[in-house]
Amino acid sequence: MIGLLLKDLKVGALFLCLIGLIYLPIVVQFVAFGHDAPLFLASIALAASLVASVLAVEWRVDADRLLCSLPVSRTSIVRGRCLAILAAGAISLVLWVCGGLVGDVLVGHVGRGTPLWATFEGLVGFCLTIVGLATLFMPCYFRFGIGKGSAIFALLLIPLASAEAWGSVLVLGGASGSASPGAAAATVPGGLVRYVISQAQQELGAVGALALFTLAGAVLLWASVALSIRFYENREF
Amino acid sequence: MDQILEVRGLDKSYAGFALRGVSFSLPRGYIMGLIGPNGAGKTTIIRLLLGLARPDGGEIRALGLDISTNGAIVRSRIGFVHEAPSFYLHLTVAGLASIVARFYPHWDATVFRRLASEFQLPLGKRVYALSRGMRTKLALALALSHDAELLVLDEPTSGLDPVFRRELLERLAAYIQDGNRSVLFSTQITSDLERVADYITFIQGGQLVFSTTRDEVKDRWGLVKGGLELLDEGRRFFRGIETSAFSFTAVTDDVEAARRRFAGREVVVERASLEDLMFYLSRARAGAATGEGEGSPPGRGRDS
């Protein structure tokens, strides 16, 4: 599994450099203008781009055939891929936080409070978003491959993202009106997720909320990996 | 004899193609050529052997292990070269080798470097810059660098220049010299097999035509050439027939019986090359499929 993760990191290293070159000016620009939410989304997009670039290379060279003829089980391939997706998320998280820090140092704050990358709900929200996307994407990819799998992933993602956006408007619109804790999250995309996180933090404390969301993320990933293994076992190359 | 590869009753169906009850075995220390026309099922057998596809029925045992339950272990002891190797194109030769090396417990970097040098593969060159022949050499170097007991080669010589092709065949012959290693070699360039193969397995239309030693193929199969007036006398010996205005050429799997039958007649009975067999048996099959064939169609699944 580690071999598979290292393989993906090696294959993706070039793309990390290229995508990083595009990402860094975006960070500085967004920090300079105090655009926390777009920076959050750009960092999620960075993780997605890293994963997509590695998978595109693999598709281009028909790497499934190469991987499946190596002495490694399909189960390990799925788990390795899951690790690689989480690694891409972790790299993006680090770049998001570091980029935010460096940007703040370079250009300073523009009339705002604690930046999103420095808040509990921002950090946990980032991780949950990555886990959620990975949970949804992996079964699609391992069942249908990168082409059809991505299309189906997008079809599933659109209603979920819409539901989240409408949920933010409906729930947080009222919450903002009543000055509910965490209601500030309603002002940015993904606000409902972060609102739920901030509510959980209020109810359970930071440690309790972290444990709850870690458990939820682990369950989601476990189910997604189990389903992906089942799908991938039946794929033929 | 210790069998390094045993295939029993292998079935696999796709839309428009079916592999039916294919059985053969390869002893340790020998080279087996897997031949057949395009679409015969050679690559399907190799995909099933490598676990890239699942059989509908039958069993494959490699190195004494059932590959359906020990796929990863078996693959760690198999070296594989595909006709069109799939590699990460943007990596260097050395970078690709370092990725592949992690998966093999017996990887020997020294052997890889030596082979790369012998094959004139620049370690720092990116894979996309390699020609098709050079990529095949790279696949071969990767396959030979982890002390594999069984080499599985799927059309490895297509795209190679004649010099390296000859060199490859010499390497394969040297590879099995210790008597512990074997090669399964799928190809349509039958002259390659005439040089090195100890066993020949002929697949056609998803069915086994024969699987036997090359010597037995030489002894049993032959070409019979004669006038058309003699054709009916020999039909029961013939497996594929080509006729012209006045004469016929047929392939038989009982060359001695054909010799006896036509003794003293104006008939030439000669040794058939593997290419002759592929040609005449394919013709017979195509004829049988259209109802215009002559001779008994092959594919009776006889396993010698």
pLDDT tens sequence for chain A (237 residues): 777 777 777 777 777 787 777 777 777 777 777 677 778 888 888 888 888 888 888 888 888 888 888 899 999 999 999 999 999 999 999 988 888 887 777 776 555 677 788 888 889 989 999 999 999 999 999 999 888 999 999 999 999 888 888 887 777 665 554 444 444 444 455 678 888 888 898 889 889 999 999 999 999 999 999 999 999 998 888
- Decide if B80 contacts A68 (C-beta within 8 A): no
Distance CA(A208)–CA(B132), nearest Å, equals 58
Q: Is B145 helix (H, G, I), strand (E, B) or coil?
A: coil
Residue partners of B60: CB distance under 8 A and separation at least 6: B5, B6, B7, B8, B10, B48, B49, B66, B67, B68
Size of interface A-B (CB pairs under 8 A): 66
Residue B51: how many other CB atoms lie within 10 Å: 22
Chain B contact for A108 (CB, 8 A cutoff): no
- Min Cα separation B292/chain A (Å): 36
Distance CA(B141)–CA(B115), nearest Å, equals 6
Q: Are strands B150-154 and B78-81 parallel, antiparallel or unpaired?
A: parallel
What is the Cβ-side half-sphere exposure of residue B174, based on CA atoms within 13 angstroms? Answer: 7
Res A78: pLDDT: 94
Domain spans of chain B?
3-214, 222-290
CATH number listed for the domain at residues B3-214: 3.40.50.300
Residue type, A117: W
**For A68, which of B51, B77, B95 is closest by C-beta distance?**
B51
Distance CA(A1)–CA(A54), nearest Å, equals 16
Contacts of A69 in chain B (CB under 8 A): 50-52, 75, 80, 82
Distance CA(B256)–CA(B252), nearest Å, equals 9
Interface of A with B in 150-169 (CB under 8 A): none
**B→A interface, C-beta within 8 Å:** 47, 50-54, 71-77, 80, 82, 85-91, 95, 98-100, 102-104
Per-residue pLDDT 10s for chain B (304 aa) are: 789 999 999 999 998 899 999 999 999 999 999 998 888 899 999 999 999 999 999 999 999 999 999 999 999 999 999 877 778 888 899 999 998 998 999 999 999 999 999 999 999 999 889 988 888 889 999 999 999 999 999 988 777 888 888 888 888 999 999 989 999 999 888 888 888 899 999 999 899 999 999 999 988 999 999 888 888 877 888 888 888 888 888 888 888 888 888 888 888 888 888 888 888 888 777 666 655 545 554 444 344 3
Contacts of A13 in chain B (CB under 8 A): none
CB contact (8 A) between residue A73 and residue B71: yes
Contacts of A71 in chain B (CB under 8 A): 72-77, 103-104
Structure tokens at B49: 């052997």
Interior angle at CA A15, CA A11 and CA A17, nearest 5: 120
Q: Which of B67, B78, B62 is nearest to B24 (CA)?
A: B62
Backbone conformation region of residue B153, classed left if phi is above 0, alpha if psi is from -120 to 50, else beta: beta
Residue type, A10: K
CB contact (8 A) between residue B103 and residue A63: no
